[in-house]
Structure 1
Amino acid sequence: MSPLASLKGSPIRPKRSRRGCRTCKIRKVKCGEEKPNCIRCTSTGRKCEYEGKALGTFSSASSATSMLDSPLSLSPNTVWRERRSFAYYFQHAAPFVGGSLDVDFWRVIVPQVCRSEPAVWDAIIAISALFESPDPCPDLALERGREIRTLNQNHRDALTWYSRSVSAVRQRIERGDVDIFVGLVSCILFICIEALQGALAEAAQLYDQGIRLICALRAQTASGTVPAAKIAWLEDTIVPIFVYLGAIGYSIALVPVGSLLPCSDPAMALEFPSLKLARDIIILLAAEIQIFQRVCDDNFVQSHASQVSQDLKLRQMVLSAKLKKWHLAFINLKESLRKRNALTPQDIGTGALLFSYHETLFIMLGTCMSPSQITTDAYLPNFQNIVDQCGIALDATAQSDSTQPPFTFGISVGLPLWFTSLRCRDPRIRRAAVALLRRAPQVQGLYKCAAGVSLAETVMMLEEKDGIESSPNSLHPGTVETTPAVFVPEEARLGPIGVIDLDNGIPPDMTDEEVHKWNQRGCRNFLRISRDQCDLASDTWQRVHEYILLDH
């Protein structure tokens, strides 16, 4: 059992302090006391001011210095290699792991917690070691004539520290004195470690446990046993991270992100005070619209009908109105930042990324009410926008050597580009999307780009082999520059693509031979695709279903 599975009943110990910022004091709310700007103020776009000297907390600018200059006794379990790994985390990993919008969590909150929580310290340095050496098995050796892989020193250190972190959390659980908020921070760090190792199934399992912790805290909130400051920290900092992970992981792992969505449709502001709030809202919409799209796909598959209910049509209208309102507020925010000359290169990249999400969701909503696969052809300019904007976003997140970081927990290009590579049937645009996916951070939350590229190329091969095989420039996966600018014919296009987990039951149209073959390989997760296949003997097209191994 995961060390986080038993945190539901853990005690929560609020702390009292008079060192909060002036803004929070005026508003009579609990301040988190982060310096130079507290999270409560920055998350709501308010100006944050402190009275007198800053005492007893970290600031974004000085966190690395203050931690690294502290006596060894203040940092738990410190040896030279651990201190080096912590320094690498601050200098190289933290700026990229959470992106520019969540830098406070990764460079302020996590280091604050690690000073008193050895498990969090160990998790941080494990992340740092994996970030520095993202390939877990770079070295090859021979043993009794067999090729084996050996771990490098960084990866061995990371596994040691991770194991120690897990053990520390378990010990705290057994003693019954673990704070549930520390448990949530640990959960996020553990997801990060598993994802960096390519263990996305384990990361998804940890995600499920994190969702249960959040739901438990929300239940305590309803009973009035959780301080207001911690409620705000949960909703403003932790929940957006889990919503984003769920939004990008929903299509491949069906993680329960729906548990975090509001039960009703809250009114959306006409103006956003910050890019962070704009990001949080578009990610909520991304989760909600993807869930709605799946409901529509299931409706067509199960009913074999081309009509949808009035309830679905009404829901589409509501979601479209929310997306339109978001876009208007986003345009106003960008114009305001431009007039104030407040757009940094990172802000420009973030704005491009958010716009690519808008275009993705706009296409999803516009096409999900029809089972026809040619409806996406009307959105060619939007697909082109996605590719263009994702290119701008990747330029903004490049490291000093022009490469992308190996991993990011912040909003990234995976979802828009993967959607484009699957749903756009213009060969050049979809190949441009795949080319950008190859440039992107190879692990984005619960999403692994290599698996997305492999799937996209498989889909292209299946569609284009039947569709334009006779073209003089025959299409093959990976050939970006030689493909003709023609759409894949309607009859060759793949239908709804869904994730199948054999542990939840065997689909009725999967043959016994297929089940036996997959069981022999130990495979449990598949993509189910529907497609029209040409019968050369009768010169007709027939609907068939196929299953493709989803290899993380």
Structure 2
Amino acid sequence: MAGKGTQKVKTGCLTCKIRKVKCDEAKPFCNRCTKTGRKCDGYAPRPQGAYSWDELLSKRPIVPAITSRHTTQESRALDYFRTIVSPSFAGCADDYFWTRLVTQASYHHPAVRHAVVAISTIYEQIGQVYQHDFIDSPRGRFALGHYNQALQQLTRATDETVVLFVCVLFVCIEIMQGDKQAAIKHCRHGVKIFNSAREKISPWQQKHLLPIYVRLSVFPYFFGGTIENFPGLIDVHLDELAPSATLDDCRSCLDLLVARGIRFIRTADIYRTGVIQGLPIPPALIEEQQRLVLLLDGWLGNFSILKTKHQPSLATEALHYMLQMKCLVARIWVLACFDPFEIEYDQHTPIFQQIVTLAGMALESQKRVSDRISRPKFIFEMGFLPLLYFVLIKCRDLPTRLQALEYMAILAVNRENLFDSIHMFSIASRLIELEHAVDLELLRSKGAIMANALLTPASEIRIRDSYNSGPNKEILSEDGISVLHRRIEFLVWNSEGGGGLRLVDGWIKVRQPCHWPGFEPDLVSPQLSHSSGPSDLLHLSQDVLSDSGL
């Protein structure tokens, strides 16, 4: 019992409580125990929600031991998230949010904890079972149960920071499950909260949550989101660039420019492939295009200065290369976004080659970090995959495309956000075959580009876009082997209807990303034709599309 006239201390270490003596509460171990040679058993965890966000961001991580309030399965999922999942989620980018903030918050906020258990459980099964099999399995029901509990907890939350924080986790859950519309819905909800409370955004939200939402605001535009149905973040556009002092500053600045650029590009789509294709571009859009290019050029200049002053460490080299690739991709895309004939992209072939060179440098950097490149099954952020895919679908220089295909097979993660490497590798491979009249499997076995390949196809044969139009199915090959195919629609030049664009669809072979041992893209046959006349290409286009079932 506490002495008469004294207040019983409930916050002392566990050892002092057992001994019923006053604890000095020094951290991490009290002086009363250590000075007397006793083992201090530390402090009991505070109840959920007792820590402020500032405390969760303290230099010394607050990670209490798993207590009896967690089941064995929950404890395993939380530990698996902390040790395996969170370090992999950001790819080569900064992993602070996942390894520090989410891990910390999972011990103190029920909605975060339930969401993390669901994420950890879903991540573990990626690549092991088909999605519908997992949902019907005991582990699938376990993950879904925790996801539902997190949703229930969030409906009672009054702290806006918690809502925004957990909303990111919900986006992650839906992305891992491949539910594009649900992921976009959660993302839209978070963006709307930011927009409605933009005058009340706390410094913590500004520093740790807004950058994530800036990057998240991009992915919906690749999966059905439009400028009409998905809001942009208000008041986060840059009109002037200040010199960046740190890598984080540079990354945040580029993220803002890319988000603004992608939204601008989607505004321009209707002039490239829509019903008003060919009409004069409004002056305001031309001005925005020019402004974006100037800002992206300014970013490249600032980033070059930063690299000169602060040489990247071995751990951040790959991120440096990725940021430069992202800026160059955005610059090309903004400049060419109005061109319905895809010829503008040819003006940027040297820049496409520079992007591929940066990918090669990133690969070498990763090899220096580890002899064996270990890739996670999934990353929440977009990595090298969509950047290299852009080169593959828009650069019409065959050697550059083949090198990009090689690097995609090595660098890309199987799942990056909603981007699927098998899907994108399959489409890019078939697109190259159609536009250049090559057989990649034959090319892979020979190790040199075929003599009748077209190095640079003319506009009429170029494929403007592609769309996934149905589920996969097994199709028997000529030798009786069952091969998985995917139904795809290609947007091509309408040679039969007097110009314009039309959709043709068919089945393409699903190909696993694979690199070509010993392949050298410089082995170009001197007999290669750099271009052919429009009539030759149109004839070739119809033959190739017919052979592919399109």
Instruction: Summarize the Cα distance change of 1:498–1:247 in structure 2 as closer, same or farther, 3 Å threshold.
Output: farther
User: Does structure 2 retain, via aligned residues, the 8 Å contact 1:247–1:283?
Assistant: no
Q: Within 2, Cα distance between the matches of 1:138 and 1:205?
A: 24
Aligned equivalent of 1:475 = 439
The 3 A distance-change label for structure 1 pair 318 and 501 is: farther
Q: Please name the residue that 1:26 is paired with.
A: none
Report the Cα offset of residue 382 of structure 1.
1.2
1:232-275 Cα shifts (integer Å, max 9, x gaps)? 22233222212212324423332666521537643211x11221
Provide the alpha-carbon RMSD of the alignment: 3.7
Quick one: distance in 1 between partners of 2:468 and 2:341? 22
Q: 1:314 aligned to 2:287?
A: yes
Does structure 1 retain, via aligned residues, the 8 Å contact 2:114–2:149? no
1:455: how far off?
A: 2.9
Q: Are positions 1:189 and 2:169 aligned together?
A: yes
Higher relative contact order (CA closer than 8 Å, sequence separation 6+):
1
Q: Give me the whole-angstrom Cα distance separating, in 2, the residues matched to 1:235 and 1:365.
A: 27
Aligned length, in residue pairs: 430
Task: State how 1:53-452 maps to structure 2 within 5 Å.
Answer: 57=55, 63=61, 67=63, 70=65, 72-73=67-68, 77-99=69-91, 101-135=93-127, 137=129, 150-151=133-134, 156-157=138-139, 159-173=141-155, 176-218=156-198, 221=199, 226=200, 231-254=202-225, 259-262=232-235, 265-269=238-242, 271-300=243-272, 301-305=274-278, 307-338=280-311, 343-393=312-362, 401-439=372-410, 440-452=412-424
Q: 1:162 to 1:57 in 2, by over 3 A?
A: farther
- Alpha-carbon distance, 1:528 to partner: 6.4
The alpha-carbon deviation at position 420 of structure 1 amounts to 0.9
Change (3 A) 1:99 1:277: farther
Would the aligned equivalents of 2:115 and 2:170 in 1 still touch at CA under 8 Å? yes
TM-score, length-scaled by structure 2: 0.68
Residues 437 and 336 (structure 1 numbering): CA distance in 2 closer, same or farther, change over 3 Å?
A: same
Specify the code of the residue in structure 1 equivalent to 2:353.
Answer: Q
- TM-superposition CA deviations, 1:298-351 (whole Å, max 9, x none): 12443342643322222222111111111111111111112xxxx222311111
Report what 2:476 is aligned to.
none
For residues 192-239 of structure 1, give each alpha carbon's deviation from its aligned partner in whole angstroms, at most 9, with x where no partner exists: 122222223322222222222222332xx3xxxx4xxx5222233222
SS at match of 1:267: coil
Which one has a bigger Cα radius of gyration? 2
Q: Match of 1:382, as an amino acid?
A: I
1:457·1:477 contact (CA, 8 Å) conserved in 2? no
Judged with a 3 Å threshold, the aligned counterparts in structure 2 of structure 1 residues 252 and 425 are, in CA distance, closer, same or farther, namely farther
Is the Cα–Cα contact under 8 Å of residues 60 and 104 in structure 1 kept in the other structure?
no
Amino acid at match of 1:82: E
Q: Secondary structure at the match of 1:376?
A: helix
Other-structure match for 2:8: none
Alpha-carbon distance change, 550 to 124 in structure 1, aligned in 2, over 3 angstroms: farther
> For 1:358-406, what per-residue CA distance to the aligned partner results, in whole angstroms no more than 9, with x for missing partners?
2112211332343332221121121122222234445656896523111
Letter in 2 for 1:235: Q
Cα deviations across residues 461-491 of structure 1 (Å, max 9, x unaligned)? 4433xxx4xxxxx334795544357112222
The 3 A distance-change label for structure 1 pair 275 and 191 is same
1:529 aligns with 2:491: yes
Helix, strand or coil at the partner of 1:116: coil
Pair 138,298 (structure 1): closer, same or farther in 2 beyond 3 Å? closer
- 3-state SS of 2:492 partner: strand
Work out the CA distance in 1 between the residues paired with 2:344 and 2:54.
58
CA distance in 2, matches of 1:326, 1:427: 30
- Please, what TM-score do these two structures have when normalized by structure 1? 0.68
The answer (yes or no) to whether the contact 2:123–2:176 under 8 Å persists in 1 is: yes
Per the TM alignment, residue 164 of structure 1 is displaced from its structure 2 partner at its CA by 2.2
If each structure's helix is expressed as a fraction of its own residues, which one has the higher value?
Answer: 1
Residues 392 and 158 of structure 1: is their aligned pair in 2 closer, same or farther, counting only changes over 3 Å? Answer: farther
C-alpha separation in 1, matches of 2:366 and 2:140: 25
CA distance in 2, matches of 1:165, 1:418: 33
Describe the SS at the equivalent of 1:372.
Answer: coil
Q: Give the Cα–Cα distance (whole angstroms) in 2 for the partners of residues 242 and 395 of structure 1.
A: 31
The DSSP-based 3-state class of the residue aligned with 1:259 is coil
Q: 1:151 to 1:292 in 2, by over 3 A?
A: closer
| 1:491-531 Cα shifts (integer Å, max 9, x gaps) | 21123x387999xxxxxxxxxxxxxxxxxxxxxx9866232
| Greater Cα shift, 394-403 or 97-106 | 394-403
Residue aligning to 1:546: 503
Cα displacement (A) at 1:549? 8.9
Identical pairs, percent: 22
Could you say what secondary structure the match of 1:193 adopts? helix
Distance 1:71 1:420, change over 3 A: closer
Q: Quick one: which amino acid aligns to residue 287 of structure 2? A: L
Contact 1:248 1:447 in 2 (8 A): no
| Aligned equivalent of 1:34 | none
The Cα shift of 1:418 comes to 1.7
Q: What runs of 5+ residues in structure 1 fail to find an aligned partner?
A: 1-54, 140-148, 469-473, 503-524
C-alpha distance in structure 1 between counterparts of 2:196 and 2:506, whole Å: 35
Q: Is the 8 A contact 2:289 2:334 kept in 1?
A: yes
Offset from partner CA, 1:102-140 (integer Å, 9 cap, x none): 42221222233222222211221322233333125169x
- 2-structure distance, mates of 1:123, 1:210: 16
8 A Cα contact 1:461 1:475, kept in partner: yes
Contact 1:137–1:152 (Cα < 8 Å) also in 2: no
Residues in 2 aligned to 1:549 and 1:252: alpha-carbon distance in whole angstroms: 20
Seen in structure 2, the aligned counterparts of structure 1 residues 360 and 137 have a Cα distance that, compared at 3 Å, is: same
In 2, the alpha carbon distance for the partners of 1:426 and 1:332 equals 31
Secondary structure (helix, strand or coil) at the match of 1:98 reads coil
Return the letter of the residue paired with 1:421. Answer: L
2:502 maps to amino acid: H
In 1, the alpha carbon distance for the partners of 2:466 and 2:503 equals: 11
CA pair 182-278 structure 1, distance change in 2 beyond 3 A: same
Measured at CA, do residues 450 and 235 of structure 1 come closer, stay the same or move farther in structure 2, by a change above 3 Å? Answer: farther
Map of 2:459 onto structure 1: 490
Structure 1 residues 126 and 164, CA, compared in 2 at 3 Å: closer, same or farther?
A: closer
